[in-house]
Amino acid sequence: MTTEIFVKWLQHFQSFVKASHNDKILLIVDGHASYKSFEALNFAKENGIEIVCLTPHCTHPMQPLNVCFYGPLKTYFNQQISVWLRNHPGRVVAALQIGYLFNQAYGKTASVQNACNGFKNTGLWPVNPDIFPDHFFEPAETTNMPIASTAHNSDSIQDQNLPSLPIEPEAGEIMAQEQNKAPESSSKPSTSSCKPSTSSDSSDAIAVTNDIHNTLTGLLDISQPSFASTSSSAVPVNVISPVSSGKFVSGQGKQKPKK
């Protein structure tokens, strides 16, 4: 639906209902943007048509077309397609058959009784504000929060509910306390830690690292094949992936052999 099409539809609607300022007509629509354009609202106001938009995200239980028309229309249309497919085996429904099949389904659905039930079952007419049971409103309870707790008393509520926790000192305060408690001798740097390691320790470390490197290299060589061994393969490509040949190479179902 677009704005231009809805204005044309309003003109078609007005030609049948003959609305006026002395005899107004109530038109109930959903919240689509094309229904709320300036051209549509101006035409409705000049001709005595009152437009009411339904609540957002509630058209599935409140719109008469959704409640009593679209469901039966889909059912009858599927039935007509099934009957046609049984009577025409081996064929599919194309664009030439859709008009006829939809006409049969629409004739069964668009009845006066379905139209009256659509307004009745949604509570629009006769007006019934209690048409929806309580469980319809349960999904909205997750966002239905009370507004009693305002910003000025939020601090007092937190003070009453939260338990009193001991305040831990920061890291800088802990370091300052440790420095004050430590003796003067501990403030001097130790010379023993600054001595370089002996040659025996360094040689042991180098030997350990070499063993680890050799072990990892051996594992990599075992688990992953080298590219040199694969590239030097003597098997030609046409043996690994031979070119397909035959009468039906270009595609299945072709009776003409390939030249």
Terminal Cα distance for the chain, rounded = 55
164 inside domain: no
18 inside domain: yes
The answer to whether 6 and 35 have CB atoms below 8 angstroms apart is yes
26 inside domain: yes
Model pLDDT, residue 122: 93
Calculate mean pLDDT across residues 69-91. 95
Q: Among the listed ranges 1-5, 16-20, 173-177, 222-226, which one has the minimum average pLDDT value?
A: 222-226
Model pLDDT, residue 167: 55
pTM for the full predicted model: 0.50
Report residue 228's pLDDT band, with 50, 70 and 90 as the boundaries: very low
37 inside domain: yes
Helix crossing, 95-109 with 70-87: angle to 10°?
A: 130
Gyration radius (Cα) of the chain, Å:
42
Percent of the chain with pLDDT over 70: 58
- Read off the pLDDT of residues 180-211 as tens digits, 9 standing for 90 and up: 665 554 445 444 444 545 555 555 555 656 66
Would you say residue 49 has pLDDT above 60?
yes
More reliable by pLDDT, 138 or 183? 138
Would you say residue 50 has pLDDT above 80?
yes
- Our count of domains for the chain comes to 1
Which residue range is the domain that position 21 belongs to? 3-53
Calculate mean pLDDT across residues 69-74. 94
What is the CB neighbour count within 10 angstroms for residue 28? Answer: 16
23 inside domain: yes
Q: What is the mean pLDDT of the chain?
A: 77
71 inside domain: no
34 inside domain: yes
Measured distance CA(159)–CA(161) in Å, rounded: 6
21 inside domain: yes
- Read off the pLDDT of residues 95-105 as tens digits, 9 standing for 90 and up: 999 999 999 99
- Read off the pLDDT of residues 149-174 as tens digits, 9 standing for 90 and up: 555 555 555 555 555 555 555 556 66
